[in-house]
Amino acid sequence: MHVKVHYISLVKSYTNKSQEEFILPDKTTLYQLLDKIASDYGKPFMQEVYDPAKKEMKSTFVAMVNGVLMDQLKGVNTFLKDRDSIILMSLVTGG
């Protein structure tokens, strides 16, 4: 299956890309995709965005699948489908 990942805001600074496509096996989960991305982009990505050892996004970052926050799905255990669009971005804070 093919999925497209969009890197928004600070995430883009760790990948030096705004988006990329991945070819993944069927029944791939979001955490398996994030593990792949973490492996590709290394320590800065793992320290700031996603911790593959804990299988969790860092507190100031979030993933969306087809416009839906991962926490409204099954979190990192969400199964991906062909042609899904995933957005990785930092949370907006302020007041």
In a domain, 44, yes or no: yes
Rounded to whole angstroms, the Cα distance separating 6 from 85 reads: 8
In a domain, 71, yes or no: yes
Identify the pLDDT of residue 94: 54
Write out the two tokens for 26.
């069927």
Identify the pLDDT of residue 91: 86
Domain that holds residue 37: 2-90
Domains of the chain: total: 1
In a domain, 27, yes or no: yes
The distance between the two most distant Cα atoms of the chain, rounded to a whole number of Å, is 42
Write out the two tokens for 77.
């255990």
> pLDDT tens, 54-80?
999 999 999 999 999 999 999 999 999
Identify the pLDDT of residue 95: 54
**pTM attached to this predicted model:** 0.93
Rounded to whole angstroms, the Cα distance separating 69 from 63 reads: 6
Identify the pLDDT of residue 29: 98
The owner of tokens 């969790």 is 56
Identify the pLDDT of residue 26: 96
In a domain, 95, yes or no: no
In a domain, 37, yes or no: yes
In a domain, 9, yes or no: yes
The owner of tokens 């590709």 is 40
Rounded to whole angstroms, the Cα distance separating 49 from 56 reads: 9
In a domain, 35, yes or no: yes
* Residue 10's CATH number: 3.10.20.30
Q: For the chain, which ranges sit under pLDDT 70? A: 93-95
In a domain, 80, yes or no: yes
